[in-house]
Structure 1
Amino acid sequence: MSRSGADLALLLLGGFRTLVDSAITELAAAGFEDARPVHDFAMRAIAAGADTASELGRSLSITKQSAARTIAVLQERGWVTTGPDPRDARRKRLEVTPLGFEVMRTGEAIFDRLREEWAARIGPAELEKLEHHLTTLAGPQPVRFDSPGWLAQDTTG
């Protein structure tokens, strides 16, 4: 049975959604009830050097206002804090806290376990083959930090 290109896109999205929904549920059980994919993208971007709202917005391809709202949520949860900028005393720079890094590490461990479950369901060789083919098609770095902005982009204007 041949599927359409749209079916393929939906299957890939469904696989992503299945993994993410499971991870969010498990993160909640681990005490991180409000963790969402955008939070992980934001913390990874901050850890990689996007240490202001403007830089985070550019990195995620979202508005500065959206970045500021995301930062406020991350600060409220204790996952990100601000510290003095060693280059400019007037400026505060964003930093991922130890708790923020714990959220990311916990999520990574959950995704590793979910991958093992998929390997058990279809076989390790089949999963490795699937990953190989997806890497061939999408490239070695298929998702960039700007994915949240890309997903939410307004294509009407």
Structure 2
Amino acid sequence: MAERPPGYELPLLLFGAFRSIVDATHADLAERGHPDLRPIHGFVFQAIGVRGTTAVELAARLAVSKQAAGKTIANLEKQGYVERTASPTDARAKIVRLTVRGVEFLELSARAFDEIQTEWAEAIGEQRLTELRSDLRRFAPGELFRLDAPGWLGSER
């Protein structure tokens, strides 16, 4: 019987697989006209959502400072991915919304993730991929989109 690998290997393998998927997706996105976006921006776009959000709400969703959220919004606005509009309910607040370019990024990234999933299914088989997904859901319960990952990764807790 083979010796059991050390416990630290499992999270590193999971992270490596995650990194592989995200890197492949961003390489595809770069080829399709989005070379300046990074993995963090996918979290930002998801946190902005289809209705938009304020900078304060965005910071809370991402678990980052208001300053960090504001800087990210400003950079994405310069690149044409988001726009700020007046809030219909609060004259002091601005709503951050995805532009057509921001929505395009999300659509292209979804397509790239689907293509990678197809490649994995071809490599290990559809049944194994289904079982892997089921097992991962068992060990990663709760929200599928943990938008607070940016803050969690950068936290000094």
Q: Deviations over 1:34-84 (max 9, x none)?
A: 121211111111116562221111110001111011101110111110111
Report the 3-state secondary structure (helix = DSSP H, G, I; strand = E; otherwise coil) of the residue aligned with 1:82. Answer: strand
- Tell me, yes or no, if structure 1 residue 33 matches structure 2 residue 35: yes
Question: How far off is 1:140 after superposition?
Answer: 5.4
How far apart, in 2, do the equivalents of 1:98 and 1:48 lie? 11
Aligned pairs, how many? 155
Normalised by the size of structure 1, how large is the TM-score? 0.92
Runs (5+) with no aligned partner, structure 2: none
- The share of aligned pairs that are identical, in percent, is 38
Report the 3-state secondary structure (helix = DSSP H, G, I; strand = E; otherwise coil) of the residue aligned with 1:12. Answer: helix
Which residue of the other structure, out of 4, 7, 27, is the alignment partner of 2:6? 4
How far apart, in 1, do the equivalents of 2:16 and 2:151 lie? 20
Report the 3-state secondary structure (helix = DSSP H, G, I; strand = E; otherwise coil) of the residue aligned with 1:81. Answer: strand
How far apart, in 2, do the equivalents of 1:88 and 1:139 lie? 36
How far apart, in 2, do the equivalents of 1:28 and 1:50 lie? 25
Which residue of the other structure, out of 65, 75, 78, is the alignment partner of 2:77? 75
Report the 3-state secondary structure (helix = DSSP H, G, I; strand = E; otherwise coil) of the residue aligned with 1:141. Answer: coil
In the alignment, which residue of structure 2 is the partner of 1:134?
Answer: 136
Question: How far off is 1:28 after superposition?
Answer: 0.1
- Tell me, yes or no, if structure 1 residue 17 matches structure 2 residue 15: no
Runs (5+) with no aligned partner, structure 1: none
Q: Deviations over 1:5-34 (max 9, x none)?
A: 211000000000000111111100011001
Q: Check whether the contact 1:27–1:106 (CA below 8 A) recurs between aligned residues.
A: yes
State the one-letter code of the partner of 1:122.
I
In the alignment, which residue of structure 1 is the partner of 2:116?
Answer: 114
Normalised by the size of structure 2, how large is the TM-score? 0.92
Question: How far off is 1:142 after superposition?
Answer: 4.0
How far apart, in 1, do the equivalents of 2:64 and 2:27 lie? 26
How far apart, in 2, do the equivalents of 1:87 and 1:140 lie? 32
In the alignment, which residue of structure 2 is the partner of 1:102?
Answer: 104
State the one-letter code of the partner of 1:102.
E
Question: How far off is 1:118 after superposition?
Answer: 0.8
State the one-letter code of the partner of 1:36.
R
How far apart, in 2, do the equivalents of 1:24 and 1:91 lie? 32
